[in-house]
Amino acid sequence: MDDYVGGQPYGSGLQSRDAVKVSWLKPIGLLWLSIYNFIMRILTLGIHHFWGKTEVRKRIWSSVRLNGEPLEYTGTGRELFTGFLIVFAAVLLPTMLLTLAAVMLLGVDSVWLKVFQGALYAFFLFLTGAAIYRAQRYRLNRTRWRGIRAGLSGSSLRYAWTYFWTLLLLPVTFGWIAPWRSTLLQRIITQDMRFGDKHFRFSGGSGPLYKSFAVFWLLNVVVIGGVLAIIGKAIVGSMNAFQADEGDLRQQLPPDAIPGLLAAIYGGLFVAGLIYMVLSVWYRAAMIRHFARYTHIDGLDFKSNVTARGLLGIAITNYLLLFVGALLASVVLGGIGMVVLGGLSGFGIDPLGLAQNVEPQALAGRIGILVTFVFLFALGMLLPLTQARTSGYLVRNLALSGTIDLATVAAGAPEDIRRGEGLAQAFDIDAL
Amino acid sequence: MPYDSETKMTGPYFEARYSDGRTAAARDIRVALSKHGLLLRQDYPAGDEVWPYTSLTTAEPLSSHAIDALISNAAQPGASLFVPNGSFARQLAQLAPHLTTRAARRRAAVPWLITAAVIVAIAAAISAAQFSPARAIASMMPDKVRKALGNQAVRSLTKSKPSCMQAEGLAAVSAMTRRLSSGLDGGRTFNVTVVDLGLVNAFATPGNRIVLTRGLIEKAGSADEVAGVLAHEIGHAVALDPETGIVRAIGMSAAVELMFGGSGTVSNIGVLLAQLSYTRQAEAQADETALRLLEKAGISAKGFGQFFRRVNKEGDAGSDSAGGIAGMLRTHPPTAERIRRVDAANTYRATPALSPEQWQAMKAMCPKAAKEDG
């Protein structure tokens, strides 16, 4: 029972100050849970998603141990589901109908339609901020340790507004507002966060983050510039070589030159994407360490030791897992699909039109679309596993120094948040 | 609950950690699994306590590979008990089976499995009864909405490509349309637009509008062939197929959003309509209407069959140049069965759909065609 070291001597929590040791107890059976949830999601036409997600969270939460004792996730699938339904009925459905009405009334080419769509887009950006905050609040509110609940006591509108106007400044400042912005948003969340009646504190500014950001930004400019130059050169080169007097590029290029040009463009973009991923992970690691360094509660100070290398390793292996999982799932689902189609055709039902004399290309096209859809759907199958791996990495690299008098941490006033994080679910914002 | 002297122990004591939920402090106690419930052995002054098995809850259900258990008592909110012992967790799972993963999963899954089965059964029943909710909604659509949808669809398609406005050509098109629609009850009129697009396509939009492409007119060998296609599209329009298609597409995208989240919206109705594919029944019905209209108008149905064979031959040859057979063929390829039905149409006295001059005007009505001619 090595996992339970760090517990305090019996009874000591009542008088003295306690150190808190964070540890990660690797959850067992997540692979099977991922597959179970995936199957159930299909069998229940998607509804099981919310219950599956809740079970995954319970596992991940209880893998986080403070002094050997697990965090508890007390949210329910029903809460997530009703939250989603309410947002769907109150936000998504009206938006869809409103857009349709606007297209019909204003016309496709109308300037007013563009204005309407712009306003709608801005409204959704604002809602995104609110969704992030509310999702966080729900999750904290459903997190307990030793029966004491965490929480987030502030205004989601205030956060949403800050999120919105600083977002508008991002392009204007060529991104240079980013470290200041993310620190500001993190500060709002952290200072609104509490465990029981104890508030978290955030003690720093964005200054130290700017060094990492400058490197990140400059390297990005160099990479993007370089790739653009290479692609541009390839295009100009091909055009010079093959362009006749007039007409568009595609018809003038001999067919055998096109693959080379496409390879240059996509290859360039792929390499640029990889480099960008490495750079952004490097900056993200710096940001996580930065945020942790300034987070405190009572006498406890947070410290994160995450590294770019560690995060990158987790990210790459996670992508591979998702890919392989989706591949296997697609093969299995494809096999089942064939059997089902065969069975249906026995009853004279033929959804793909196999019995009609369709050209082979058209049939291949239909099957291709179907397989792509199944693959994209299956990409999410192993998400519980990858989320647990990411959480595990973050938790294993988290340390708390200092002490806290746990006997003085009282349960906060009870709050009543019945619904889940519908808004975030609808916008697909989801850290866990 | 005070100590019950009748309590019979079923096992040894386990080390545990108890939190009362008022503060984050915890104290170490010993617990045992008794006949009536979980026995919490506490030091003076608290005394022993029994948590009945039926009132126990866990945030994380007890799985078979659990190495510990975190338990709450519904009768005592906030209080929690952490027992870092796998053997305890397994024994508790037997005494309080509602705490197991299996039980939790059953509670979560069974209602929705039943719901899903009911939904599938209803959907199957609806489709077996050949009732289409989309068609029902489409038939309730007010004319104003139909017209607005149709105008949007045509405008979104003709926005980049000019429609063909040459006067003699327009006159020929409307003459052909009038001749065909005279066979319909209630004097319905149709607004036919020819778009200056090279690909071969024809489709009906809501609000009795029909779009033909220049490519289709060029591909056709005679005015009778165009008349056949036009009659077929009038058949779709009469059956409200375009309206039904749009309702169905909107319903589908709402369903997809419901399943996956997101905020996608149907924005380009024109593209949607051009790509809609109708069911085989809808196609067969449109063919039937087309044959009826051709006969009433005294236009030979041979042209219709001719056009089918023409595009089919192209498909067999595997021609794929710049979407030559795209559109119409991809969405509803004429099957052998359809061609046979058209060929089997009644023979009757027929005159050409257009005079040679009108046919020439129709072929030359688009700017691009006119340029190529000149």
Q: Does A51 touch chain B (CB under 8 A)?
A: yes
**Euclidean distance between CA atoms A33 and A88, whole angstroms:** 27
Q: Which residue of A has its CA nearest to B23?
A: A410
CB contact under 8 A, B250 and A195: no
CB contact under 8 A, B265 and A100: yes
Query: To probe the interface with B, which of A44, A80, A357, A430 has the most B CB atoms within 10 Å?
Result: A44
Residues of chain A contacting residue B78, judged by C-beta atoms under 8 Å apart: 147, 411
Choice between A139 and B198, residue whose per-residue pLDDT is larger: A139
Q: Give me the residue from B23, B25, B59 closest to A74, CB to CB.
A: B59
Q: What is chain B's mean pLDDT, rounded?
A: 80
| Contacts A–B by Cβ distance under 8 A | 177
Pairing between strand A193-195 and A198-202?
antiparallel
pLDDT for position A284:
94
CB contact under 8 A, A428 and B262: yes
Residues of chain A contacting residue B262, judged by C-beta atoms under 8 Å apart: 426, 428
Smallest CA-to-CA distance from A189 within A201, A172, A204, A205 is with A201
Q: What is the mean pLDDT of residues B7-33?
A: 84
DSSP sequence for B142-191 = -HHHHHHHHHHHHHHHHTTSPBP--HHHHHHHHHHHHHHHTTSGGG---E
Smallest CA-to-CA distance from A157 within A173, A179, A137, A172 is with A137
CATH class of B14-99: mainly beta
Report ipTM for this prediction. 0.80
Interhelix angle B143-158/A93-106, rounded to 10 degrees, is 70
CB contact under 8 A, A48 and B336: no
pLDDT for position B58:
92
Give the confidence band of B5 by pLDDT, cuts at 50, 70, 90.
very low
pLDDT for position A431:
37
Query: What's the pLDDT tens digit per position in B129-159?
Result: 777 778 888 888 888 888 888 887 787 777 6
Range with lowest mean pLDDT among A38-52, B73-87, B199-213: B199-213
Pairing between strand B209-213 and B191-195?
parallel
Residue B321 has pLDDT above 60, yes or no: no
How far does A195 lie from chain B, in Å, by closest CA?
9
**Euclidean distance between CA atoms B228 and B235, whole angstroms:** 11
CB contact under 8 A, A1 and B84: yes
pLDDT for position B369:
59
Smallest CA-to-CA distance from B95 within B10, B168, B204, B159 is with B10
Q: What is the mean pLDDT of residues B184-198?
A: 84
CB contact under 8 A, A44 and B267: no
Q: Give me the residue from A3, A124, A406 closest to B25, CB to CB.
A: A406
**Euclidean distance between CA atoms B337 and B281, whole angstroms:** 12
Give the confidence band of B70 by pLDDT, cuts at 50, 70, 90.
very high
Q: What is the mean pLDDT of residues B52-65?
A: 91
Q: Does A122 touch chain B (CB under 8 A)?
A: no
Query: What's the pLDDT tens digit per position in B209-228?
Result: 998 888 889 888 899 999 99
Provide the residue ranges of all domains of chain B, joining segments of one domain with +: 14-99, 103-131, 142-369
Smallest CA-to-CA distance from A13 within A52, A69, A83, A65 is with A69
Residues of chain A contacting residue B27, judged by C-beta atoms under 8 Å apart: 10-11, 13-14
Range with lowest mean pLDDT among A188-192, B83-87, B305-309: B305-309
How far does A31 lie from chain B, in Å, by closest CA?
14
Choice between B36 and A198, residue whose per-residue pLDDT is larger: A198
Residue B282 has pLDDT above 50, yes or no: yes
Which of A21-35, B176-190, B269-283 holds the top average pLDDT? A21-35
CB contact under 8 A, A406 and B63: no
Q: Give me the residue from A36, A361, A406 closest to B24, CB to CB.
A: A406
Q: What is the mean pLDDT of residues B320-329?
A: 37
Residues of chain B contacting residue A408, judged by C-beta atoms under 8 Å apart: 23
Residue B178 has pLDDT above 50, yes or no: yes
The stretches in chain A having pLDDT less than 70 are 1-15, 107-109, 238-257, 347-360, 362, 413-432
Query: To probe the interface with B, which of A32, A108, A117 has the most B CB atoms within 10 Å?
Result: A108
pLDDT for position A12:
44
pLDDT for position A116:
87
Query: What's the pLDDT tens digit per position in A180-218?
Result: 999 999 999 999 999 999 999 999 889 999 999 999 999
The answer to whether the peptide bond before residue B45 is cis (omega within 30 degrees of 0) is: yes
Q: Does A84 touch chain B (CB under 8 A)?
A: yes
Which amino acid is residue A190, in one-letter code? Answer: T
The pair of structure tokens assigned to B325 is 């057979």
Q: Give me the residue from B105, B259, B266 closest to A100, CB to CB.
A: B266
Q: Does A55 touch chain B (CB under 8 A)?
A: yes
